[in-house]
A = this chain, B = another copy of it.
Amino acid sequence: MADPNTLSAVDAAAAIRNGRLTSERLVESCLARIEAREERVGAWAYVNPDQALTEARARDKEEPRGLLHGIPVGIKDVFDTADMPTEYGTPIYKDHQPAWDAACVAQVREAGGVILGKTVSTEFATRYPGKTRNPHNLDHTPGGSSSGSGAAVADCMVPLAFGTQTTGSQIRPASYCGIVGYKPSFNTIDRAGLMPLSQSLDTIGIHGRTVQDTALVVAALADYRVSDSAWEIAGTPKIAFCRTPVWAKAEASTQALVEETASRLGGQGATVSDLALPADFDDLTEAHKTISEFEFCRALSYERTHFPDKISSLLMERLESGLRWTRADYENSWQKVARCAELMTHVFAGCDVILAPSVPGEAPRFEEGTGSPIFSQIWAPLGLPCVSVPVLEGPTGLPIGIQLLAPLGEDARALTHANWVHQQLGDWT
């Protein structure tokens, strides 16, 4: 058997069920990897090895609880945990200890999972970075805001980790770190105990190294199950290649790689068509900015009014911008989103899924920030399910993801087609 920490969650869960692996050995293996690499990668805000091993040993003595039995999971440090501090990526809440587990944390435990620790988030899941480095090149960012979760999964410190996406915080780190990032349809995983940032956009997602691993989590938590047979796509995958209205923001090398990928998939049995979005979609980036800023400055009212000196100027500017938007600006933005939502039936009429860039290019250097969410921002207010798969290698050898999107509520389509693309093209390395 490979080192347990490198196993997929699906394989590890099967090995634990069959008695070929214990949760204790799997957690030990993950902790050893953390011990070896954490000083450089900085993926974790909190790990207590004894606590994790105690949990793992307890699971090994029990009948299987559920789909995640014995599997270690990393939790972005914006989710409350009753037995670990939770700091939300801000010095305002240094050493804060919640009184409860977030719903998704409690559900992981109910399904038999072991909480390995808390992963680094940017400040309040926005853009000011934490300490985490890209495990493939420590001089580069892992992306944000789900930085630690992306780096930890990529570096085989843990097979699964929760992230969140309000703009591009799941897809971007997945792309930069060379892993799978799955943002489910809006409201799929319950948000109780997640620090709120934008009540109409915040979405809980999952980082994993395979698409099927990420699907395991929504099966366990949201009773959203992709049947075994659905993973074998019947007939020809119908993929619409969408350059998006922000195509010019992609680096030329990325444009070439994505173009080539679309062609290759055509040669590997898919029907690949070109999709130009209706002109209404040109407004979505600005609409998302208005909606999110209007909501951020309200959700963070307490912190904004009590601790302005402990908020980064990067975030404070966005909060102040949010206070300048009027109710009419906010409502007009939602009307623009509603028009695009009405067009989705038309957009998906000729295809199963949309193929689009995940990011403009490779991970920027660490000091340049967490990268641009622009290729997620245009989709974000629509709430569509999207899955980024790490199939491209950029000019300096770092990974670049591409994302598959499906209509709202059709997560199985996004997942099974992303899995097909991942299998056809393989990992970027």
Contact = CB atoms under 8 A, between A and B. Distances in A.
Contact of A190 (B82, B199, B224, B326): B199
Contacts of A200: 187
Interface stretch (A106-114, A143-151, A267-275, A312-320): A106-114
Nearest to A325: B223
B302 A105 contact: yes
Interface stretch (A7-15, A96-104, A239-247): A96-104
Contacts of A107: 298, 301
Contacts of A224: 327
A82 B331 CA distance: 31
Q: What size tier do the contact residues of chain A reach?
A: 35 or more
Contact of A299 (B82, B110, B190): B190
A225 interface: yes
Contacts of A21: none
B187 A301 contact: no
Contact of A100 (B82, B303, B326): B303
A138 interface: no
B327 A223 contact: yes
Contacts of A110: 301, 305
Contact of A301 (B93, B103, B295): B103
Interface in A293-351: 295, 298-306, 326-327, 330-331
A301 B221 CA distance: 10
Contacts of A106: 301-302, 304-306
A104 B196 CA distance: 13
A101 B302 contact: yes
A18 B427 CA distance: 70
B199 A327 contact: no
A103 B224 CA distance: 32
Contacts of A299: 103, 190, 192
A222 interface: yes
A362 to B, nearest CB: 35
A191 interface: yes
A394 interface: no
A199 B221 contact: no
Contacts of A221: 298
Interface in A109-163: 109-110
A302 B187 contact: no
A224 B103 CA distance: 32
Given A105-B302, A192-B300, 5 more contacts: A104-B301, A106-B302, A110-B301, A190-B301, A223-B326
27 contacts: A82-B302, A93-B99, A96-B99, A103-B196, A103-B299, A103-B302, A104-B301, A105-B302, A106-B304, A106-B306, A110-B301, A110-B305, A187-B199, A187-B200, A190-B199, A190-B295, A190-B298, A190-B301, A191-B196, A191-B199, A192-B195, A192-B298, A192-B299, A223-B326, A223-B330, A225-B327, A331-B409
